A and B are shown apart, each in its own frame.
Chain A
């Protein structure tokens, strides 16, 4: 079974600092995709960033970047210059040859002034 692990239930970061949210995955498929979603307290799921297993470069989207280390099977999300509005739950997810997007249990991020 495909597995996504997020080991940090909760994280704190000060405004304007960078923060890394950890995600490791387990799959035997050579082709897979990794996603990060943000869920603010209002409840909606917001897509942040995507990394394909064959992509040579780490994905970046504005202040979000994905630190993809294929050999270590990790796909950490880096948020630069944190803002108060970044306080939310963050979910890592993986798709592969199956039809499901498998989610980790999430990391709660709190940005403090």
Chain B
């Protein structure tokens, strides 16, 4: 079982460059989300999706775009990278977005450095 697959694992960008972090899940989960993790800050929600064609903003959406054209894929786009976006990014999915015991399944993370 692949679960949640994130690529790349590491990335270095220069300020102003754009890139897409890929996320795919093979569990037919309806809910997918992107978090960033910074030291001492826990995980903060960037964007989420409750199904194909439906996306919405989380706590820290500025500078990021998402789309969900299929159930499986949920890419995160950095439009113009800034040093403040240096972070570890996690994609996560769950069977249901409703309050339940359905836990989030996480990818292994992407460590992004913006110079």
Chain A residues with a Cβ under 8 A of chain B? 4, 31-33, 35, 43-45, 47, 50, 52, 91, 93, 95-97, 99-106
Asked, given contacts A91-B43, A100-B33, A103-B43, whether A33 binds B108 with beta carbons under 8 Å apart, the answer is: no
**Chain B interface, number of residues (Cβ within 8 angstroms):** 27
Distance (Å) between the CB of B34 and the closest chain A CB? 11
Distance (Å) between the CB of A37 and the closest chain B CB? 8
Residue of A nearest to B43 (CB): A103
Residue of A nearest to B59 (CB): A100
The 8 lowest CB-CB distance pairs between A and B, nearest first, are: A45-B106, A47-B103, A105-B42, A103-B42, A103-B43, A50-B101, A100-B45, A99-B97
Partner of A52, one of B35, B97, B101: B101
Asked, given contacts A44-B108, A103-B42, A106-B42, whether A97 binds B90 with beta carbons under 8 Å apart, the answer is: no
